[in-house]
Amino acid sequence: MATKPEDWNFPGGVDCAYCGQRVEVRAFPAIQQESRGERPEAILGAGEAGCYYHPQNRATVPCDACGRFLCALCDLPLDGQHLCPPCVDAGVKGNKLAAADTSRTYYDSVALGFATWPMLLFYFSLFTAPVALYYVIRYWKQPQGILPRTRIRFVLAAILALLQLGMWVMIAGAIIWQMMRSQGGAR
């Protein structure tokens, strides 16, 4: 930050000396702390347990997932648990770690988009309505994300898609009935 420390925590902020724009900095005690890495301790006696991945280091905690002893270097605290690197990797791949959950796809919005936007050009709805229904059925039970979200979009998408399909069925039925009438009249 280009703002000087004496201007931090100044109510209303100050004008930046370089660009003249108003800048406000709200600092907290963590800014004064130096970040220090944990150093593992060496095993001193035969009775001490060693780390599974570094046998020469003293174990401090067991992994909450696999139970292996871990030194300070291998201990990865996440979501209130102590985990080893392979368990973190498995948790990320298996989508079991909340801290590793960094993105989600909103399939309900995708389904609603397939059910609504093609109505601008009605003919596309013949193909997009089944796609919308597929998304509703396929992803109905999938967790929506870590933030509160209802399934109203899935419901709306299903209703619209069914209405569109119903309309296409009626159109097809009307065409077939008309063809049958014209053939009967020709006879």
Partner 1 sequence: MAAYQYRRLLPRERGILRYAELWAADDHLLSAASTRLAVAYQRFPLAEIQAFSITTLPHWTFPQLAWLFLSAALFLVSVLAPTLPFLQVLFGGLAIWPLLLAIREVWRGPRCRVYIHTPTGAHLLPAVARQARVDEFLAIVTPLVEGVQGHVERMAITERTVEHPEEVARQQIGQQRGLRLFAFGALLAEGLFYTWEAAYPALGRKPEVIIVGFGVYLVIVIIMVTVWRQATPILRRDRVYTLAGAALALALAELVFAVAAGFIAAFRFGAAGDLTWITTVSAAWRIPLALAALTIELRRK
Residue ranges in contact with partner 1 by CB under 8 A? 1, 3-6, 8-10, 13, 16-32, 35, 79-81, 95-99, 101-106, 109-110, 113, 145-148
Nearer to partner 1, 109 or 140 (CB): 109
CA distances to 102, 107, 138 from 95, rounded to whole Å, are 10, 17, 18
List all residues 6 or more positions away from 70 whose beta carbon is below 8 Å from its beta carbon: 51, 52, 53, 59, 60, 61, 62, 63, 82, 84
CB of 32 to partner 1, least distance (A): 7
CB of 138 to partner 1, least distance (A): 16
**3 state SS of 108:** helix
Please give the single-letter amino acid code of residue 92: V
Report how far residue 93's alpha carbon sits from residue 100's, in angstroms, rounded to the nearest whole number: 9
**3 state SS of 13:** coil
Nearer to partner 1, 41 or 79 (CB): 79
**3 state SS of 50:** strand
Nearer to partner 1, 56 or 105 (CB): 105
Nearer to partner 1, 80 or 185 (CB): 80
CB of 149 to partner 1, least distance (A): 10
Report how far residue 17's alpha carbon sits from residue 19's, in angstroms, rounded to the nearest whole number: 6
CB of 17 to partner 1, least distance (A): 5
Nearer to partner 1, 99 or 163 (CB): 99
CB of 179 to partner 1, least distance (A): 36
List all residues 6 or more positions away from 13 whose beta carbon is below 8 Å from its beta carbon: 7, 22, 23, 24, 25
CB of 46 to partner 1, least distance (A): 37
Nearer to partner 1, 44 or 146 (CB): 146
Please give the single-letter amino acid code of residue 180: M
Report how far residue 104's alpha carbon sits from residue 88's, in angstroms, rounded to the nearest whole number: 19
